[in-house]
Structure 1
Amino acid sequence: MADDPPLLRLPEITMNHILYFCDYSEIARLRKVCHTLRNHIDLFKPDAHVEEVLLGNGKNAEICFDSDQDSRICIDYEETEGGCTVKCDTFMGRHSLKTISGMNPMDVLIQDFKIYMRHLKTPLKQFQLSEICCDALLQIRKEQPPESQIFPLKVNKLELYGLSPDQILATLPLFDANHLKDLRIGTGINAATDGDGLNDDALFESEQWRNAERICLSHKFKISNVRQITHLKEFEGSMSRMTAADAVFLKNVSFQTLHYRFATFQTFISSPVFKQCCIKVDVDLNSLPLKDIFGPSSFDRYTKSNRWYFHIPDDTNSALRVNVSLNSNFEIARINRRYVVPGEMIIY
């Protein structure tokens, strides 16, 4: 005992307090110091203090951790003859390289990510998942013991890239719907432009979709009904066809509350926290009789769009701006009245 370094001679409560201030990269290095310290870390599992996680990067098997202490560690897994090569880079630019025989890159990635997850206590600000690691994450969830409290993961912002509709539906339950507020679903690097679509009601009825505040969908995926987004603060996405009735609905819902599916939502435009909604449509929106319905529009030469401004009841500081562009974008945004173009009329 007398030959142990001073850190190992400290009381457990003191050592744990010191480890509390270590980030993931420091914890990983400390585990390699000696068996005693490794066993202590594995037993008490100090928080890794990671804020953001990237799992997979395009077609590459990779893990990246960003901590709240401006620390970053990236681990790349590449197949090599007879095994896997692992390269670790830190925010300081240092890197280490080693080869693990008899294991493929994804098995090594799963093994390392399990170690990290044992130290996951603080909710994450962001989690980014690429298709190459989707099955790996699902496998980790499947292999977790029933008493594990790691899943569902507490994440504020979730980004999914390159996943199929089936993978998206399988992956969303891994994330706590009460924490997930920002959802971004994008295509992979080499994804086709015309995808499968998101027409399965299971997605729109999921807790994660209904509890989210901001959703951004790649053009590959399309909503099927404007009522699927009326609970959001922000939405950016596409749909195949928008009717004049849909456009009027999105504008008029600022004056009413509607009952939709399983819950009553205060519609997104009437909410004081609503920011904007932008929908890309496959058909020409300017062919719709919107001028007959909304009244005369002004034409913005810079954005090449027809534009209207509407009064918002009980709000003298804001206005509702509706843009219909020549490239078939329909946008509604709550703006400060001082940004209304001089000379433009606000419709009551």
Structure 2
Amino acid sequence: MVSLIDMPEVPMKITLEKLGYVEIQCLRKTCHSLRHFIDTTQPEQSIDALKISGSPNKISLLINGNDNINGNDGPQLYPSGQKIHVVYQALKGENARITWFRKDENRQKTILNENFSELLSRDFGLILECKLPILRTFSMDFKNTCKQFLEKYLSNKNPIKTNTLTMINAKQDDMLGFLPYICAGTLEKLVIQMADWIGPMDISKIVELEHWKKTRKIHIAGVSVAAEVRNFEHFTSLIVRFDVLYLEDVLFLKELFLHTSSTSKQYRISFGKLSDRNAFIQEFGLPLTEQRETLTFERPDDKEHVVKVEFSHFWDRVLEFKIIKKCDAPNEVEVVN
């Protein structure tokens, strides 16, 4: 029987491609020959998602393999599946504890004279040195992530390729420093989540980046934004909040939906107040009560679809734009030509 280290290059590559991230890292520690082969050939890792989150004294690293991503239960913890959950915790002094949550039995190790965030950074740096596929999603909480981490472990690396990028508690400066490490060409959806934020967030520099211009879905939660509505017109899916909603912006969006070639376009805009409530009532003929009000508009040169506009003032002030099939328009709502 041929041993693993004596296996020819082609079957060795095929074998490594069948292994998960943990198995490959274990093989790297077996002997110098295997480590050299793995580092040289860089087999693509079966990683589907990465997430970094935590608190001031504890940071969590979550790695999802691409096993059972469409199943009802999602990926299973290792060794039952390829989901890896590791928590790095600060102890008294410059000591740290690493906990690896597993399906069989959790593993714990105390590291003396090491900073917990530095340990996380090193491990994350090892992941980035691997050949990664295009991730389904990559999420990072910036509240307890230092800029030194970004500069030390993301610089001189290939940009991370992901379809969805979630940035949590990231101010504009954080995003400006982080987005250059993300590949704009693969980005399909951008999610910005904020907690305990007071006042609108400035995104005037973000909207100038290629990442903003190339992605087609943007969801911003937990904060209002200070930006022109026209900066969002290229998105097919939009969730955003403004402190003040202006009539001219609503009329612009109405025209945008009337003439867009995309029938999948959908916007949900929440707002603090209307710039001129009476002007809205006069323009749209809606009482703007706590009841949901609906208008539908015919689209020029489109016999099959209409624009559906909904105003809601019940729990949160929300304006929604959708394009629906004409046959699905509510019977009690008049279609406006």
Contact kept? 2:244, 2:274, Cα under 8 Å? no
Tell me the CA shift for residue 225 of structure 1. Answer: 1.3
Structure 2 residue runs without a partner (length 5+)? 69-81
Q: Go from structure 1 to structure 2 and tell me whether the alpha carbon gap of 1:130 and 1:120 turns closer, same or farther (over 3 Å shift).
A: farther
Inter-partner Cα distance in structure 2 for 1:338 and 1:298: 26
Inter-partner Cα distance in structure 2 for 1:72 and 1:300: 48
Structure 1 residue runs without a partner (length 5+)? 257-269
- The sequence identity of aligned pairs, in percent, is 22
Q: Does 1:180 align with 2:187?
A: yes
Which of 291, 311, 314 lines up with 1:324 in the alignment?
311
Inter-partner Cα distance in structure 2 for 1:93 and 1:314: 61
**How far does the alpha carbon of each residue in 1:234-267 deviate from its partner, in whole angstroms, 9 at most, with x for none?**
11011121221111111012455xxxxxxxxxxx
Contact kept? 1:285, 1:328, Cα under 8 Å? no
Is the partner of 2:186 in helix, strand or coil? coil
Is 36-45 or 101-110 further displaced after alignment? 36-45
Q: Go from structure 1 to structure 2 and tell me whether the alpha carbon gap of 1:343 and 1:56 turns closer, same or farther (over 3 Å shift).
A: closer
Is the partner of 2:38 in helix, strand or coil? helix
TM-score, normalising length: structure 2? 0.86
Inter-partner Cα distance in structure 2 for 1:61 and 1:118: 21
Is the partner of 1:53 in helix, strand or coil? strand
TM-score, normalising length: structure 1? 0.83
Inter-partner Cα distance in structure 2 for 1:30 and 1:94: 21
Inter-partner Cα distance in structure 1 for 2:332 and 2:283: 21
Describe how 1:63-212 pairs up with structure 2 within 5 A.
Answer: 63-70=61-68, 71-81=82-92, 82-90=94-102, 92-131=103-142, 132-133=144-145, 135=147, 136-142=149-155, 144=156, 148=157, 150=158, 152-187=159-194, 191-195=195-199, 197-212=200-215
Which of 208, 211, 220 lines up with 1:217 in the alignment?
220
Aligned length: 318
Equivalent residue number for residue 237 of structure 2: 234
Contact kept? 2:187, 2:215, Cα under 8 Å? yes
Equivalent residue number for residue 12 of structure 1: 9
Contact kept? 1:134, 1:171, Cα under 8 Å? no
Tell me the CA shift for residue 273 of structure 1. Answer: 4.5
Equivalent residue number for residue 256 of structure 2: 253
Is the partner of 1:115 in helix, strand or coil? helix
Equivalent residue number for residue 278 of structure 1: 268
Equivalent residue number for residue 72 of structure 2: none
Contact kept? 1:223, 1:237, Cα under 8 Å? no
Inter-partner Cα distance in structure 1 for 2:146 and 2:278: 41
Equivalent residue number for residue 326 of structure 2: 337
Is the partner of 2:245 in helix, strand or coil? coil
Inter-partner Cα distance in structure 2 for 1:58 and 1:79: 10
Equivalent residue number for residue 259 of structure 1: none
Q: Does 1:49 align with 2:46?
A: yes
Q: Runs of 4 or more off by more than 6 Å in structure 1? A: 298-301
Q: Go from structure 1 to structure 2 and tell me whether the alpha carbon gap of 1:55 and 1:120 turns closer, same or farther (over 3 Å shift).
A: farther
Tell me the CA shift for residue 289 of structure 1. Answer: 2.3
Tell me the CA shift for residue 93 of structure 1. Answer: 4.2
